[in-house]
Structure 1
Amino acid sequence: METATNTIDPNEVAKFEAMATEWWDPNGKFKPLHMLNPCRLDYITRQIGAEFDRDLTQDLAFAGLRILDIGCGGGLLSEPMARLGATVVGADAAAGNIPVAQVHAQAQDLAIDYRHTTAEAIADAGETFDVVLNMEVVEHVADPQGFLRACHSLLKPGGLMLCSTINRNPKSFMMAIVGAEHIMRWLPKGTHEFSKFITPDELYKLIEGANLSPVDRKGFVFNPILWTWSLSDKDLSVNYVTASVKPD
């Protein structure tokens, strides 16, 4: 199946290229992701464990699974997947992210296949995966529907895609743009574009339009008092994540 090759937005790539060296600084420009990461990983590991009947209390619980981390950045998700025994490919359209990820993985003695490439290019090469991690990427591409179709092509039948993004409403504007970029200065101004945010219902339609079946969605909720993130069944008002499968 041939896929589109032009869902990359060069302006979005340039934003993250400029921040590449800070990926592993927990107090740097990616501080929000470092804070969110334990919550993201909790959802990711539980969904993969349930879908593939893996016991998360066991060492190397994901052994035998091939996982693609699209928009891998510095490897904040790729490394935990590799530690759980998965065969991991980390792909990013920003070339500067790849050497940062490679050096950090080598220092951790982790074998991860990091590539400067796109989802479409990997799909066109005929590669397939048990799991595609598509986290905080869809709001940065030029063509979300085309991008999700490429993700469909990348999945084996019965494969699982986990996709997170940001809702589009006044609260998300205040939290993700005004709060994170202008007040807290966790991210450089202009990191996010409000018009590219996607509501949960819109994302479900895009996922279904890519011939995937949505099976779950949860909110990532920030508590400013406890300074922690948690999962919510009901509050998808700002950050949220979805799980979908490719029919057998």
Structure 2
Amino acid sequence: MRHEDSGHPGADLQSADNVSAAEIARFAALAETWWDPAGPMRALHRMNGIRVGWALARFRERCGARPLRLLDVGCGAGLAAEALASAGHEVIGLDASDAVIAAARRHAEGQNLPLRYRVGTLAALIDEGAVFDAVTAFEVIEHVPEPRRFLAEIASLLAPGGVLVLSTLNRTKRSLAFGKFAAEYLLRWAPPGTHDWRRFLTPAEIEDGLGAAGMGLFDLAGMRFDPLRLRFCLSRDVAINYLLAAWKPASSP
């Protein structure tokens, strides 16, 4: 396990970094239980295989089978980052919380994965001139103050021909009923208050933001929960959870 320290600890982040102090604190409180498959992050455990598998397929489609330099934004304690690194990609897991990055490093210790973690923001990476072949942002965009800026920052970090895969929740009546109230208050898949339904984004809204950032949508899929297998599976229905893939054309500056 290789470590990379950052000069941008979570406590020192500024509002200009497009992060929410309240959201950082909310997820930092869950750091020690993040890897418990029966804990407060159990929904992420159940969807991790399907979302990582879908992302890997989109990367192969656009970039071939070569190992990629990959950024996992809002990586939390590393559920997706470890899986992506295990698939052979060189991964940097980025999160604004010191606590969750500490948990991620502890869990990855000794696995000898091509994986580094750092505390910081997209803005800091842009300032450093970082460039990535691919970016993942799973269940992140609904938590940032400025989603369109978030997409623009990712576009700035992608190499021409690079791919973004994100997952999020749609803003529909069904997502309010099932993705918010049932998931948080009945099934307890996430701590109550984790999501603000008003901040959910439709695929059309994200596609508009991608276009403004110079990227183009090329694939979209829904995720639905299979109660018999107790896991998520791919679906054509994007009314609640969905995955989205976009690319930055090779001709982009």
TM over 0.5: yes
Q: Give the match for residue 29 of structure 1.
A: 40
Q: Give the match for residue 178 of structure 1.
A: 181
**Counterpart among 124, 145, 150 of residue 147 in structure 1:** 150
Within-5 A mapping of 1:62-211: 62-63=66-67, 65-211=68-214
Q: Which amino acid aligns with 1:228?
A: R
State how far apart, in whole Å, the 2-side matches of 1:35 and 1:239 are. 13
**Counterpart among 29, 41, 44 of residue 52 in structure 2:** 41
SS of the equivalent of 2:78 reads coil
Q: Give the match for residue 236 of structure 1.
A: 238
2:15 aligned with 1:10? no
Q: Which amino acid aligns with 1:76?
A: L
Q: Which amino acid aligns with 1:190?
A: G
Give the conservation status (yes or no) of the 8 Å contact 1:218–1:231.
Answer: yes
- Structure 2 spans left out of the alignment, 5+ residues: 1-14
Bigger mean CA deviation after superposition, 103-112 or 205-214? 103-112
Give the conservation status (yes or no) of the 8 Å contact 2:88–2:114.
Answer: no
State percent identity of aligned pairs.
Answer: 38
Give the conservation status (yes or no) of the 8 Å contact 1:120–1:147.
Answer: no
**1:38-87, Cα deviation, whole Å (9 max, x unpaired):** 11122011111111122xxxxxxx53x10000001111111122122211
Give the conservation status (yes or no) of the 8 Å contact 2:90–2:115.
Answer: yes
**1:136-195, Cα deviation, whole Å (9 max, x unpaired):** 100000000111110001100000000111001111011121111100112111000011
SS of the equivalent of 1:115 reads strand
SS of the equivalent of 2:184 reads helix
State how far apart, in whole Å, the 1-side matches of 2:135 and 2:113 are. 19
Q: CA RMSD in A?
A: 1.3
TM superposition score normalised by structure 1: 0.91
Q: Which amino acid aligns with 1:50?
A: E
State how far apart, in whole Å, the 1-side matches of 2:33 and 2:111 are. 17
SS of the equivalent of 1:102 reads helix
Give the superposition deviation at 1:226: 3.7
State how far apart, in whole Å, the 1-side matches of 2:249 and 2:26 are. 35
Q: Which amino acid aligns with 2:47?
A: L
SS of the equivalent of 1:13 reads helix
**Count of aligned pairs:** 236
Give the conservation status (yes or no) of the 8 Å contact 1:130–1:156.
Answer: yes
Q: Give the match for residue 7 of structure 2.
A: none
Give the conservation status (yes or no) of the 8 Å contact 1:222–1:228.
Answer: yes
Give the conservation status (yes or no) of the 8 Å contact 1:5–1:121.
Answer: no
Give the superposition deviation at 1:109: 2.7
Give the superposition deviation at 1:110: 2.1
Give the superposition deviation at 1:17: 0.7
Q: Which runs of 4+ in 1 moved over 3 A?
A: none
Give the superposition deviation at 1:222: 1.1
Q: Give the match for residue 248 of structure 2.
A: 246
Give the superposition deviation at 1:111: 4.0
